[in-house]
């Protein structure tokens, strides 16, 4: 079993280094407590490009195209569901993944209450190949002009969430800060986030976004993985709301 786990990890390194989430509403890398509004559909096109080679080898660019829709008519209890198509350097094996999230915005439960979200992502269609099945919980609070701070925890499939030695590494913390940089422009937003663990999801990410229109924005970011075997990625994310 240990040999099999090491084999799975090596395949992941070769084909899916810098794995892309089946994306719920996110910061740069981790989920956020934001939930799509009722009847709003979100198109996300996320590309992750390796910023460094590994042992002189060019690693594949990963692109994730997804739709996320808000389906709850209740203002205080919001719900979104999503489906994604992932391409890893032209590999289209089991490319469909699913995500969902339920949450409540800041101040919805009582005056001054934090935003709360519970959700899951990367629910794949092939057992022990793409079913990472990551479940998470998050709370977030905006602190005046300092921005919004989020904290939470995640866990997933212990057969796939492994370190590079094939040992189980299925959970970790989720942390983030984000803020609209209104001193420059209300169209400018910045964020830093962190996902714990030395599996293929563990990373420190940072970036900024610009709203080109009310419903169109682009994020420019950079991801540094906790496990140095996974080389950093530059990310470009196009977000369109309908």
Beta strands in 41-94 (DSSP E): 41-50, 62-70, 78-88
Share of the chain above pLDDT 70, in %: 90
* Of 18-27, 63-72, 90-99, 203-212, the least confident: 18-27
So what's the pLDDT on residue 55?
73
Domain that holds residue 97: 2-241
Its pTM stands at 0.89
CATH number, domain of 228, equals 2.40.160.40
Rounded CA separation 221/208 (Å): 6
Mean pLDDT across 225-237? 94
**Which tens digit of pLDDT belongs to each residue from 136-145?**
999 999 999 9
Overall domain count for the chain: 1
Q: Which residues contact 236 (CB under 8 A, 6 or more apart)?
A: 46, 47, 49, 218, 219, 220, 221
């Amino acid at each position: 079993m240990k040999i099999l786990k090491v084999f799975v990890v090596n395949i992941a390194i070769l084909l899916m280094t810098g794995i892309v989430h089946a994306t719920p509403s996110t910061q740069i890398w981790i989920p956020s407590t934001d939930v799509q509004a009722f009847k709003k559909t979100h198109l996300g096109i996320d590309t992750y490009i390796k910023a460094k080679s590994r042992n002189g080898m060019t690693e594949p660019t990963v692109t994730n195209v997804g739709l996320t829709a808000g389906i709850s008519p209740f203002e205080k209890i919001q719900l979104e569901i999503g489906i994604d198509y992932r391409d890893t350097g032209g590999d289209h094996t089991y490319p469909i993944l699913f995500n969902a999230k339920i949450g409540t915005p800041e101040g919805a439960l009582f005056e001054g209450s934090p935003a709360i979200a519970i959700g899951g992502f990367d629910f794949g269609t092939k057992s022990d190949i793409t079913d990472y099945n990551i479940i998470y919980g998050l709370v977030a609070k905006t602190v005046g002009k300092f921005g919004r701070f989020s904290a939470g925890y995640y866990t997933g499939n212990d057969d796939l969430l492994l370190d590079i030695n094939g040992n189980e590494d299925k959970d970790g913390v989720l942390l983030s800060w984000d803020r609209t940089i209104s001193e420059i422009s209300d169209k400018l937003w910045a964020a830093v986030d962190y996902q714990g663990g030395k599996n293929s999801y563990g990373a420190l990410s940072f970036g900024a976004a610009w709203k080109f229109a009310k419903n169109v924005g682009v994020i420019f970011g950079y991801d540094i993985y906790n496990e140095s075997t996974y080389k950093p990625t530059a990310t470009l994310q196009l977000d369109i709301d309908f």
